[in-house]
Amino acid sequence: MADLKWLDNYSGQTIEELLALDSEYRVDSLLVALEQALNQKAAEDGEQDLSDEERIVLAVEALEREVNNGGYGQFFTDSSGQYAAIIVDSLLRIGCPETANITSGAINALGIQDFSPEALEAAFESEDEERDEQLDECDGLYSGSGEDIAGQLFEFVRSHQDAIQL
Protein backbone atom coordinates (compact mmCIF):
# COMPACT_ATOMS: atom_id res chain seq x y z
CA MET A 1 0.00 0.00 0.00
CA ALA A 2 2.94 2.35 0.60
CA ASP A 3 3.61 2.53 -3.15
CA LEU A 4 0.05 3.55 -3.98
CA LYS A 5 -0.87 7.19 -4.48
CA TRP A 6 -3.60 9.19 -2.75
CA LEU A 7 -6.47 10.30 -4.98
CA ASP A 8 -6.95 13.93 -4.02
CA ASN A 9 -10.63 14.30 -4.88
CA TYR A 10 -13.53 13.15 -6.95
CA SER A 11 -13.45 14.52 -10.49
CA GLY A 12 -16.47 13.02 -12.23
CA GLN A 13 -15.45 9.38 -12.54
CA THR A 14 -18.07 6.66 -12.83
CA ILE A 15 -18.22 3.98 -10.14
CA GLU A 16 -16.53 1.58 -12.56
CA GLU A 17 -13.71 4.06 -13.20
CA LEU A 18 -13.15 4.61 -9.46
CA LEU A 19 -13.05 0.88 -8.77
CA ALA A 20 -10.54 0.37 -11.60
CA LEU A 21 -8.10 2.76 -9.90
CA ASP A 22 -7.38 0.38 -7.00
CA SER A 23 -4.05 -0.76 -8.46
CA GLU A 24 -2.79 2.84 -8.63
CA TYR A 25 -4.48 4.59 -5.67
CA ARG A 26 -5.04 3.73 -2.03
CA VAL A 27 -8.45 2.18 -1.39
CA ASP A 28 -9.18 4.60 1.45
CA SER A 29 -8.61 7.54 -0.90
CA LEU A 30 -10.97 5.99 -3.46
CA LEU A 31 -13.61 5.67 -0.76
CA VAL A 32 -13.18 9.34 0.19
CA ALA A 33 -13.68 10.26 -3.47
CA LEU A 34 -16.77 8.05 -3.60
CA GLU A 35 -18.09 9.72 -0.46
CA GLN A 36 -17.55 13.13 -2.08
CA ALA A 37 -19.46 12.00 -5.17
CA LEU A 38 -22.35 10.63 -3.11
CA ASN A 39 -22.53 13.80 -1.01
CA GLN A 40 -22.69 15.83 -4.24
CA LYS A 41 -25.47 13.56 -5.50
CA ALA A 42 -27.40 13.93 -2.24
CA ALA A 43 -27.03 17.72 -2.34
CA GLU A 44 -28.27 17.89 -5.94
CA ASP A 45 -30.98 15.20 -5.98
CA GLY A 46 -31.87 14.91 -2.30
CA GLU A 47 -30.91 12.24 0.20
CA GLN A 48 -34.18 10.41 -0.39
CA ASP A 49 -32.86 9.43 -3.85
CA LEU A 50 -29.86 7.58 -2.43
CA SER A 51 -29.94 3.79 -2.51
CA ASP A 52 -29.46 1.76 0.66
CA GLU A 53 -26.00 0.81 -0.58
CA GLU A 54 -25.09 4.46 -1.10
CA ARG A 55 -26.26 5.28 2.44
CA ILE A 56 -24.13 2.43 3.77
CA VAL A 57 -21.06 3.95 2.09
CA LEU A 58 -21.82 7.37 3.57
CA ALA A 59 -22.51 5.95 7.04
CA VAL A 60 -19.34 3.86 7.22
CA GLU A 61 -17.16 6.63 5.79
CA ALA A 62 -18.63 9.09 8.32
CA LEU A 63 -17.89 6.66 11.15
CA GLU A 64 -14.33 6.10 9.97
CA ARG A 65 -13.63 9.82 9.60
CA GLU A 66 -15.19 10.89 12.90
CA VAL A 67 -14.06 8.08 15.20
CA ASN A 68 -10.51 8.24 13.85
CA ASN A 69 -10.44 12.02 14.34
CA GLY A 70 -12.31 12.52 17.60
CA GLY A 71 -13.99 9.34 18.75
CA TYR A 72 -17.56 8.16 18.95
CA GLY A 73 -18.59 11.34 20.73
CA GLN A 74 -17.62 13.29 17.63
CA PHE A 75 -19.50 10.84 15.39
CA PHE A 76 -22.70 11.29 17.39
CA THR A 77 -22.50 15.06 17.84
CA ASP A 78 -21.41 16.11 14.32
CA SER A 79 -23.69 15.91 11.29
CA SER A 80 -22.53 12.31 10.90
CA GLY A 81 -24.89 11.47 13.76
CA GLN A 82 -27.58 11.27 11.08
CA TYR A 83 -26.24 7.76 10.42
CA ALA A 84 -26.45 6.55 14.04
CA ALA A 85 -29.66 4.62 13.39
CA ILE A 86 -28.15 2.63 10.49
CA ILE A 87 -24.47 2.35 11.35
CA VAL A 88 -24.52 -1.00 13.15
CA ASP A 89 -26.47 -2.67 10.34
CA SER A 90 -24.21 -0.97 7.78
CA LEU A 91 -21.11 -2.43 9.43
CA LEU A 92 -22.71 -5.88 9.48
CA ARG A 93 -23.64 -5.57 5.80
CA ILE A 94 -20.03 -4.86 4.80
CA GLY A 95 -18.69 -7.71 6.93
CA CYS A 96 -17.32 -5.94 10.02
CA PRO A 97 -19.08 -7.69 12.93
CA GLU A 98 -16.50 -6.74 15.56
CA THR A 99 -16.72 -3.05 14.70
CA ALA A 100 -20.52 -3.35 14.64
CA ASN A 101 -20.41 -4.79 18.16
CA ILE A 102 -18.11 -2.01 19.39
CA THR A 103 -20.35 0.60 17.77
CA SER A 104 -23.42 -0.96 19.36
CA GLY A 105 -21.67 -0.57 22.72
CA ALA A 106 -21.06 3.11 21.99
CA ILE A 107 -24.74 3.56 21.11
CA ASN A 108 -25.79 1.78 24.30
CA ALA A 109 -23.57 4.15 26.30
CA LEU A 110 -25.83 6.99 25.18
CA GLY A 111 -28.89 5.36 26.71
CA ILE A 112 -31.24 6.56 23.97
CA GLN A 113 -33.49 4.91 21.41
CA ASP A 114 -34.22 7.99 19.31
CA PHE A 115 -31.36 9.07 17.05
CA SER A 116 -32.75 12.39 15.89
CA PRO A 117 -30.27 15.28 15.98
CA GLU A 118 -32.17 16.71 18.96
CA ALA A 119 -32.00 13.44 20.91
CA LEU A 120 -28.30 13.02 20.18
CA GLU A 121 -27.63 16.59 21.25
CA ALA A 122 -29.64 16.08 24.44
CA ALA A 123 -27.66 12.92 25.24
CA PHE A 124 -24.52 15.05 25.48
CA GLU A 125 -25.99 18.12 27.20
CA SER A 126 -25.11 17.04 30.71
CA GLU A 127 -21.87 15.79 32.16
CA ASP A 128 -21.88 12.01 32.39
CA GLU A 129 -18.62 10.44 33.47
CA GLU A 130 -19.85 6.87 33.01
CA ARG A 131 -21.02 7.56 29.43
CA ASP A 132 -17.75 9.28 28.61
CA GLU A 133 -15.71 6.39 30.02
CA GLN A 134 -17.74 3.89 28.00
CA LEU A 135 -17.27 5.95 24.84
CA ASP A 136 -13.53 6.23 25.51
CA GLU A 137 -13.36 2.46 25.92
CA CYS A 138 -15.20 2.01 22.61
CA ASP A 139 -12.78 4.45 20.95
CA GLY A 140 -9.86 2.29 22.05
CA LEU A 141 -11.55 -0.92 20.97
CA TYR A 142 -12.34 0.62 17.58
CA SER A 143 -8.74 1.54 16.86
CA GLY A 144 -7.52 -1.85 18.05
CA SER A 145 -10.13 -4.07 16.40
CA GLY A 146 -7.93 -5.01 13.47
CA GLU A 147 -10.85 -5.16 11.05
CA ASP A 148 -10.02 -3.77 7.62
CA ILE A 149 -13.04 -1.49 7.42
CA ALA A 150 -11.84 0.32 4.29
CA GLY A 151 -11.04 -2.94 2.53
CA GLN A 152 -14.38 -4.46 3.50
CA LEU A 153 -16.27 -1.35 2.39
CA PHE A 154 -14.39 -1.28 -0.92
CA GLU A 155 -15.30 -4.92 -1.58
CA PHE A 156 -18.91 -4.15 -0.65
CA VAL A 157 -18.90 -1.30 -3.19
CA ARG A 158 -17.35 -3.57 -5.82
CA SER A 159 -20.00 -6.24 -5.30
CA HIS A 160 -22.88 -3.72 -5.20
CA GLN A 161 -21.69 -1.27 -7.83
CA ASP A 162 -24.92 -1.68 -9.80
CA ALA A 163 -26.76 0.00 -6.88
CA ILE A 164 -24.30 2.89 -6.66
CA GLN A 165 -24.85 5.57 -9.27
CA LEU A 166 -22.64 8.64 -9.50
Q: What is the pTM of this model?
A: 0.95
Note the Cα 119 to chain centre separation in Å: 20
Rg of the Cα atoms in the chain: 16
49 secondary structure, DSSP code: G
The pLDDT score that the predictor gives to residue 9 is: 92
The pLDDT score that the predictor gives to residue 2 is: 60
Q: Provide the β-strand partners of residue 55.
A: none
- H-helix or E-strand spanning residue 25: none
- Interatomic CA distance for residues 122 and 159, integer angstroms: 38
* Average pLDDT by stretches of 10, the chain with 166 residues: 86 96 97 97 95 98 97 96 97 98 98 94 94 98 96 98 96
Domains recognised in the chain with CATH numbers: 15-163 (1.20.1420.60)
